[in-house]
Structure 1
Amino acid sequence: MATTQRYVLWIAVLASFVAFLDGTIVNVALPAISDELGGGIRTQQWVVDAYLITLGALILVAGSVSDAYGRVLVLRIGLIGFAVASLAIAAAPTAEFLIVARAVQGAAGAFLVPSSLALITSNFSGPAQSRAIGIWTAMTTSAMIVGPLLGGILVDFASWRWAFLINVVPIGVTLVLLARGGFRDTRHQDASIDWLGAVLCTLGLGGMVYALIEQPNQGWASPGIWIPLVLGALLFLTFVMRQRTVRHPILPLDLFRARNFRMGNIATTFIYGALALNGLVVVVYLQEGAGLPATLAGLASLPMTILMILFSSRVGALSGRWGPRFFMTIGPITMGVGALLLLTVGSDFSYWWQVLPSMIVMGAGLALTVAPLTSAILGAIEPERSGIASAVNNAVARVAGLIAIALLASIVGGTLDLEGFHRAAIVTAVLMIAGGITSFVGIRNPDRALYPPAEPA
């Protein structure tokens, strides 16, 4: 690699690592946050969903913004915004202040991952680009291991506030590399940003999520619930309708004409909604219900991450030969079985016999699912539109997690006790199995003639 390319790769890795690190740390810190700032499960829901609302809405517009104002400038603004929001979260005096800061952090985070990948694709080509993306994937995936461990240690031995301050270190290093790299921005003169669409999407999602989170406390008959629910739904519908006529849509609806893209995103909704629900419930219950320290609770799902890292690339290669349908069917159903194994968790708690088997089975299912799902969705769209196709799928996954977390109180019955934990496990299993069935019914393998014959084992 040339010196400039090394700078680009490290900048891309560090900028994305920040966003992935924060996403894995926050779940570990939730019990400590609600203990100090109050609000119980409602505070925990909003801490997660405030971030996901702005992230899910603005990640669609990130590509347009970087084209209009330059990728380096947008990445620098995203990094500074993320750092300022992290400092505000660490200093939050109330739950309400923290939630607003998390929304700002999500808005900044929306520009980190797309801008990072755009830097790689614009500075690498051919085999070097594939290698760079492979390095980026491996390094950013490591945040799934580092985040829970680091977050747990900081919560147990310092404070949950330090878990957010840790973001400032890689952000500072990335800003230094950006300054020393001597990069010049390239802008598209005809680029246009649908700011109105972004506002409609954000307010629409926000209204619906507010109603879903607050409904268990006020009831569906309360005007404070059904009014924001209806208004949010109307605003989001207006956003979708606008995307059909606006010159530069942030959600190109014509992408959904491709069968595998359409059905793959429906499967994504089920699968990633289930993953978000399971990820939060397990780490919070292990602390509040089973009494584990934050460090051990954060490490509980480590087998899932390890299995995905070890086998997802091999599964991706097999999917490239045999097609994604089989893997997208078996993988989510396997994860559903793993979720049902959590029903063995009882008042006489044992991680090794009650939780670890579930994590292993779910990890195997996750390894079978992720790469084929991604290839099926992106493979359905022409290569020159793969960037926006990836952004749409990422946004779908984020919004699915957003809605799943918003429904948490309704799913667990208001309290994340043992009974609520079992309810969440059942809902997770149902969503996973629904994702597998959707894939079986809806996904089509490309022509087998496109695949080389499988080599003998």
Structure 2
Amino acid sequence: MSQIAPPCDRGVVAATAPHPGKAKGPLVLIGTVLGSSLAFIDGSAVNLTMPVIQQQLGGDAASAQWIMNAYLLFLGALVLAGGAAADRYGRRSVFVVGVVVFSCASALCGLAPSLPLLIAARGLQGLGAALLVPASLAILGASFDQAGRARAVGIWAGAGGLMSAIGPVLGGWLTDTVSWRAVFLINLPLAALAVGFILAGARESRAPRAGPVDWAGALTATLGLAAITWSLTEAPARGLHASSVIAGLLLGVAALAAFVVIERRAESPMVPLKLFQSATFSGANGLTFLLYAAFSGALFLLPFQLIRGHGYSAASAGAALLPLSVGLAVLSPMAGALTARLGVRTMLTIGPLVVAAGFALLALRAGEPGYWSGVFPGLVLLAVGMGIAVAPLTDAVLGAVPGAYEGAASGINNATARIGGLLAVALVGFVLAAGSGGEATSQLAEGYRMAMKAAAIAAAAAGLIGAATIRSGPRKA
């Protein structure tokens, strides 16, 4: 997802009971870094290819949205079920299956002759990522004892930040010098190395009390999110009052209502609903949804603005995003010390408000073609704000639930971030349609400006939620 990983990955690792046994730590660490990098690079690099893909394969704005959302839909809806499957059937086995599915889908993406086939392959990629991402984190947690875990997680997180920074630059360079197809095909050697290192270094592990996988919940969540995403994507062209759009929205709401009923009755629910009795946990997830929706929706449009609006090459557009990734990598480790001094609530109020200021500045400078005056200042504020907010967000989520539910709480918050991005990208069509009425370039510029304003409002609302709901204090028993 763009240039920032979802929150609470550290919580997923921490909640996994260590079973190091005969695991070969260095090989496991390399394998999990490579496996997670498939998702990190894909999330940040594919954004840069979309303007070029759309030009070569045709399609409208909705087609470009589906290139991103087919992936986000299956990843966001199924990542919790993927984690449960890894706990029940074996983390190493599920990781290998996920990487194989992801790499086969990447090959299909790279060879796709048309947009419908590319979008279908992107959905398959999302399914593979929903298996490999949680399994990768669980393998990391199971392979190191408490003494070695902090160092391993630090290396993993640093490598993930590096890969997220490399992704846009690599994606832009490959698109310009080889083809957009190479952005997908480069996943194949990385996947082969990841599987090799994990098979050589990790021992199989399972959660000792893992219940059955909540497949009914996973199915209804996927159906509900798919129906709502389709309706929001199609509404700008068909109209909000179109019968197909209304039917899709009703189907989505009904499926999500069924999901809630299933979760209340499930033996091992994907989402333990009682966690939402905590105002802090509910507030943290509301904050996460709005903040990551703002971030994902705005950065979905930024490459279009740079490439089509201001004439950047794909490589230059990728390099333009480097300050964001580098700033996040530098600032995130410092957030822990700041949180100890200022408190979680203060950090989760200030951080989103700084992000809102960054989006507002990007909106104000939308017509400025110069990078240093038009784009760079806003990206710096985004990096500062997200750097302030992400680490304390994990602390807030884990501090709001009993220790036995840390893994579930982390997974829910992680999925919330991805679903926020999914729905935000689905809504992009509305701001593009609102900016219509002139030439394509001016329409894009006006749509981009409106998207930045909407992102600023959402991020500011996230900050207000943080101020109103986040409480610091001892964890509940």
Separation in 1, partners of 2:343, 2:334 = 13
Instruction: Indicate yes or no: 2:144 matched with 1:129.
Output: no
Separation in 2, partners of 1:439, 1:88 = 42
Query: Equivalent residue of 1:243, what SS?
Result: helix
Instruction: Determine the structure 1 residue equivalent to 2:329.
Output: 309
- Given candidates 408, 414, 425, the residue that maps to 1:394 is 414
Instruction: Indicate yes or no: 2:183 matched with 1:163.
Output: yes
CA 1:441–1:90: 2 relative to 1, 3 Å: same
Separation in 2, partners of 1:213, 1:96 = 15
Separation in 2, partners of 1:253, 1:125 = 31
Contact 2:84 2:210 in 1 (8 A): no
Deviation at 1:40, TM superposition (A): 2.6
CA 1:44–1:181: 2 relative to 1, 3 Å: same
Instruction: Determine the structure 2 residue equivalent to 1:452.
Output: none
Contact 2:224 2:252 in 1 (8 A): yes
Instruction: Determine the structure 1 residue equivalent to 2:374.
Output: 354
- Residue identity opposite 1:53 in structure 2: L
Deviation at 1:69, TM superposition (A): 1.2
Instruction: Indicate yes or no: 2:465 matched with 1:438.
Output: yes
- Given candidates 258, 262, 270, the residue that maps to 2:282 is 262
Question: Could you list the per-position Cα deviations for residues 17-65 of structure 1 after superposition, in whole angstroms to 9, with x for gaps in the alignment?
Answer: 1111100011000001111111131111001111111101110112221
- Given candidates 359, 371, 378, the residue that maps to 2:391 is 371
Instruction: Determine the structure 1 residue equivalent to 2:456.
Output: 429
Q: After the TM superposition, which of the residue ranges 221-230 and 20-29 deviates more from structure 2? A: 221-230
Query: Equivalent residue of 2:265, what SS?
Result: coil
- Given candidates 329, 347, 370, the residue that maps to 2:349 is 329
- Given candidates 124, 140, 164, the residue that maps to 1:104 is 124
Instruction: Determine the structure 1 residue equivalent to 2:197.
Output: 177
Contact 2:92 2:202 in 1 (8 A): no
CA 1:347–1:335: 2 relative to 1, 3 Å: closer
Instruction: Indicate yes or no: 2:75 matched with 1:55.
Output: yes
Question: Could you list the per-position Cα deviations for residues 209-233 of structure 1 after superposition, in whole angstroms to 9, with x for gaps in the alignment?
Answer: 0000001111122222111111111
- Given candidates 424, 427, 439, the residue that maps to 1:407 is 427
Instruction: Determine the structure 2 residue equivalent to 1:418.
Output: 445
CA 1:397–1:299: 2 relative to 1, 3 Å: same
Question: Could you list the per-position Cα deviations for residues 296-346 of structure 1 after superposition, in whole angstroms to 9, with x for gaps in the alignment?
Answer: 111222212212111211112221343211111111111111111113335
Question: Could you list the per-position Cα deviations for residues 133-157 of structure 1 after superposition, in whole angstroms to 9, with x for gaps in the alignment?
Answer: 1111111111111100100001111
- Residue identity opposite 1:419 in structure 2: E
Separation in 2, partners of 1:289, 1:249 = 46
- Given candidates 34, 59, 62, the residue that maps to 1:39 is 59
- Residue identity opposite 1:446 in structure 2: G
Query: Equivalent residue of 2:300, what SS?
Result: helix
Contact 1:260 1:442 in 2 (8 A): yes
Q: After the TM superposition, which of the residue ranges 74-83 and 229-238 deviates more from structure 2? A: 229-238
Separation in 1, partners of 2:309, 2:449 = 12
Contact 1:86 1:167 in 2 (8 A): yes
Identical aligned residues as a percent: 35
Separation in 1, partners of 2:142, 2:347 = 32
TM-score by length of 1: 0.94
Separation in 2, partners of 1:320, 1:125 = 26
Query: Equivalent residue of 2:24, what SS?
Result: helix
Separation in 2, partners of 1:303, 1:182 = 35
Contact 1:7 1:177 in 2 (8 A): yes
Separation in 1, partners of 2:79, 2:268 = 15
Query: Equivalent residue of 1:192, what SS?
Result: coil
Question: Could you list the per-position Cα deviations for residues 408-453 of structure 1 after superposition, in whole angstroms to 9, with x for gaps in the alignment?
Answer: 01023266611111101100100110000110111112269xxxxx
Q: RMSD between aligned alpha carbons?
A: 1.8
Instruction: Determine the structure 2 residue equivalent to 1:146.
Output: 166
Separation in 1, partners of 2:258, 2:399 = 29
Question: Could you list the per-position Cα deviations for residues 375-411 of structure 1 after superposition, in whole angstroms to 9, with x for gaps in the alignment?
Answer: 1112212333222211100110011111100000102
Deviation at 1:77, TM superposition (A): 0.2
Separation in 2, partners of 1:393, 1:119 = 20
Instruction: Determine the structure 1 residue equivalent to 2:401.
Output: 381
Contact 2:32 2:198 in 1 (8 A): no
Separation in 1, partners of 2:290, 2:202 = 43
Q: After superposition, where does 1:222-241 map in structure 2 within 5 Å?
A: 222-241=242-261
Separation in 1, partners of 2:44, 2:198 = 25
CA 1:439–1:130: 2 relative to 1, 3 Å: same
Separation in 1, partners of 2:459, 2:284 = 13
Instruction: Indicate yes or no: 2:90 matched with 1:90.
Output: no
Separation in 2, partners of 1:420, 1:162 = 30
Q: After the TM superposition, which of the residue ranges 12-21 and 345-354 deviates more from structure 2? A: 345-354
Contact 1:69 1:187 in 2 (8 A): no
Aligned residues: 448
- Residue identity opposite 1:300 in structure 2: A
Instruction: Indicate yes or no: 2:271 matched with 1:251.
Output: yes
Q: Structure 1: 5+ residue runs without aligned partners?
A: 449-457
Q: After the TM superposition, which of the residue ranges 411-420 and 400-409 deviates more from structure 2? A: 411-420
Separation in 1, partners of 2:388, 2:202 = 41
Contact 2:92 2:199 in 1 (8 A): no
Separation in 1, partners of 2:462, 2:96 = 37
Instruction: Determine the structure 2 residue equivalent to 1:17.
Output: 37
Deviation at 1:82, TM superposition (A): 0.3
Contact 1:346 1:418 in 2 (8 A): yes
Instruction: Determine the structure 2 residue equivalent to 1:453.
Output: none
Contact 1:83 1:167 in 2 (8 A): yes
Contact 2:49 2:175 in 1 (8 A): yes
Instruction: Indicate yes or no: 2:271 matched with 1:282.
Output: no
